[in-house]
Structure 1
Amino acid sequence: MKRRLYRGRDVRRAQNIAELRAMAAARLPNFCLEYLEGGADDELTLRRNRASFDAIAFTPRTLVDVSARDSGCTLFGERISMPAVIAPTGFNGLLTHEGDLALAHAAREAGIPMCQSMVSTVALERIAETGVRHWMQIYPFKDRENLAGVVRRAEAAGSEAIVVTTDVPVLGNREWDRRNYRAPMKLDLANLIDLAMRPNWWWDVLVPHGMPRFRNLGDVLPPGRDDARNAATFLSKQMDPSLNWEDVQWLRGLWPRKLIIKGILRPDDALRAKALGVDALIITNHGGRQLDSCVAPIEVLPAIRSAVGPEMTLIVDSGLRRGSDFVKARAMGADAAMSGRATLYGLAAGGKDGVTHALAILRAEIDRTLGLLGCPVLTDVSSDWVSSQGGMHHATPALQGVEC
């Protein structure tokens, strides 16, 4: 019998993240799935992100007592249950109603932080109220005063960290996403027909709530223009190509808590951020959605760790699909790893229950990897436990969906 992934509605039957992806694909309209999965240009970066993890091989030890295992670690001095953070992802209200709330509740129950996107569709105050370790991601739009307003809201809400995305001075070229539209934010006929065939989706997302709105951008957008249909064009013009290190200094002076820079891929940039008092770096290429033909974050992580030393917090993202990937990230020098698409597949497949199941899958895979690796304590994992000989980018190409 031919192997087939389960595509029904019971998220508890999903054996891995790939199966949750298949379930999400069965439920979502094509344009939503493409927005979630697509990358820039020829999607070379997208595929390389996944292939780079595939090319890292474990070197396990044997005859080690692994009867008691610990998958946890600390991040900013506080324990997390596994080395994972939910990455900032926008427009999650297109996957399910108030999807960001579902992500927050699942993250809190799992004992890990959640980073909320500035272009999410739930107000940051409501996410912070869930009790999750809340990080707020910001895009440095041209209007700095309105940006400062979002930062002040995050401070008042008790957010632990501000995460500054620096790798979007201009928007990446996502051709496959654009092919779904006959004009900006106006679906073509094929996608309208596909949408009509997804009643479960539009009864969840569009009826009776209407088009999701950007609840954290009320001061930035023109009055009444905060819905996804009207905001996309306006926001694309707000990206600031003049963003530079002086803006990081300005934010450091404005924000009293943890300041994290997201978008570092070079040791020299990492050292400059460290010199400015940044608390942590996220090593990322934006999940393959910005610059194509870009290095994978896991490839450059060891050199960045060597440059900044052991004391600086480093988080890596892009391409993680298995719990074993999180163990590999630790081995290569990361304190933790972020995953966006892996949890979004769960969200799209089954709401909060789907996210909870996605995180449970990853935690079980991390625990099992530690046992089979002969290293029962996650924090003992180091470069001694892996080998990447043969060149990371020569691994077998991944499926289309790879991650932020």
Structure 2
Amino acid sequence: MVTRQLPKPAEIFELMQFKKPDLNARRRRLDAALTIADLRAIAKRRTPRAAFDYTEGAAEGEISLARARQAFEDVEFHPSILRPATDVDTSTTVLGGPSALPFGIAPTGFTRLMQTEGEVAGAGAAGAAGIPFTLSTLGTTSIEGVKEANPHGRNWFQLYVMRDREISYGLTRRAAAAGFDTLFFTVDTPVAGARLRDKRNGFSIPPQLTPKTILNAIPRPWWWIDFLTTPKLEFASLTTTGGTVGELLDAAMDPTISFEDLEVIRGMWPGKIVIKGVQNIEDSKKLVDLGVDGIVLSNHGGRQLDRAPIPFHLLPHVVREVGRDATVMVDTGIMNGADIVASIALGAKFTLVGRAYLYGLMAGGRQGVDRMIAILRSEIERTMKLLGVSSLEELTPAHVTQLTRLSPVTKDAALAAESASASAAAEK
């Protein structure tokens, strides 16, 4: 039998502990965000559809992006038991310099359109967290502006080779003069991918006021107030900003980009050079033979060639071939600190996050980016502790299994299927 008694007033008052209300709406909503998905939900509420879809969307049917994210969800971890990991070290050395975490902020274009603080927020947050920040050629803050926002941190520059080569050469020299230590030579954008969301939304630079955009802006007046009361958008490379995103990219990019361009840029860049957008083993080996410092396995966030290879699936094969001779990094689809841990375990030296960063930016400017980094840091630390590892160096391929939903059809299997189909037809 349970003994019952009248509750004591002191015990009731002890339970009635009310949290002091936070009158800062931005801090309140960001504190409530526990995952990148939470930040995304806030960002979607606060950002006009065209700008949000530019971040969210990918090329054509968006198959590449969906597959990349599915690949991370299809990870199986193998923890070790009775191995205390009360304190974990998430720091690493990448491309000759330190990073407090095994990820950096990826280059993103038109960033101030997502939220007016743009790259200044990203660079400042990266510097405060001790991780690298990468400025895009199509960024909306100048090279010098990013250096001012992150004067003591690591700044990297992502370079497109443009039709007017002198523009690319000039940007390379400016980034070097500003003390950027690494150049990301991007090779997967000879032309713009078919980003259908942008076309359907009529997304252009600068945004155009139409009945549709005005209707969409009514519940989001803060975005338009920020946009209209802050300095005009300025791009790191383009002298004109009129037209759709695809038109701007096609006008700037050059489908004749070649290994000769890489040689020219390599000759004028004094720091580390990394090739971004590598998607097979053969190219990885050739680039390492040419002496590059690193490669980023990437399909451009699924925004260029749809049905492109899944970078995370490609990772262990490339690491096996060239991991001893170059820094292998990976991006596309990373939405959780566990994705980063899995990548490091399979041999990546470093990872890059793009959409996760922009979700934080749209959710709350600089504070939102800080929150994004804090969420990923917490997930990385917790995953490492649950695996029983105290440092990134302790992570090995034995900690991860890549579960595959997609298996390539071999030539022998295809011939066997064709033969079986022919036999069945003959029997009929």
TM-score by length of 2: 0.85
CA offset digits 1:244-282 (Å, max 9, x no partner): 111111111111111111010111101111122211101
Larger Rg: 2
CA offset digits 1:53-107 (Å, max 9, x no partner): 1111101110111122111111123221110010000111112223100000100
Question: 129, 147, 168: which one pairs with 1:110?
Answer: 129
**Distance 1:74-1:392 versus aligned 2 partners, 3 A rule:** farther
Aligned residue in 2 for 1:151: 172
Query: 1:182-331 maps to which residues of 2 (within 5 A)?
Result: 186=208, 189-210=211-232, 212-214=233-235, 216-217=236-237, 220-221=238-239, 225=240, 227=241, 233-331=247-345
CA distance in 1, matches of 2:358, 2:200: 22
Q: Secondary structure at the match of 1:153?
A: helix
CA distance in 1, matches of 2:202, 2:323: 47
| C-alpha contact 1:70 1:378 (8 A) present in aligned 2 | yes
CA distance in 2, matches of 1:69, 1:112: 17
Query: 1:69-148 maps to which residues of 2 (within 5 A)?
Result: 69-129=88-148, 130-131=150-151, 132-148=153-169
Deviation at 1:128, TM superposition (A): 1.6
Aligned residue in 2 for 1:348: 362
CA RMSD, 1 decimal: 1.9
Aligned residue in 1 for 2:72: 53
CA distance in 2, matches of 1:183, 1:88: 20
In the alignment, structure 2 segments of 5+ residues that lack a partner are: 1-24, 408-428
Question: 367, 389, 402: which one pairs with 1:388?
Answer: 402
Aligned residue in 2 for 1:162: 183
Higher helix share: 2
CA distance in 1, matches of 2:388, 2:128: 28
CA distance in 1, matches of 2:187, 2:156: 16
Deviation at 1:18, TM superposition (A): 0.3
| C-alpha contact 2:121 2:361 (8 A) present in aligned 1 | yes
2:49 counterpart of 1:30: yes
Question: 341, 345, 350: which one pairs with 1:336?
Answer: 350
CA offset digits 1:333-386 (Å, max 9, x no partner): 100100001011110000000000100110011000000011121221010101
Counterpart residue type for residue 283 of structure 2: D
Q: Return structure 1 stretches of 4+ with deviation > 4 angstroms.
A: 182-188, 228-232
**After the TM superposition, which of the residue ranges 187-196 and 21-30 deviates more from structure 2?**
187-196
In the alignment, structure 1 segments of 5+ residues that lack a partner are: 1-7, 395-404
State, as a whole percentage, how many aligned pairs show the same letter. 38
Deviation at 1:303, TM superposition (A): 1.1
Deviation at 1:206, TM superposition (A): 2.1
| C-alpha contact 1:98 1:122 (8 A) present in aligned 2 | no
CA offset digits 1:12-63 (Å, max 9, x no partner): 2101100000000010000001101001111110100100011111011101
**Distance 1:206-1:182 versus aligned 2 partners, 3 A rule:** closer
Deviation at 1:163, TM superposition (A): 0.7
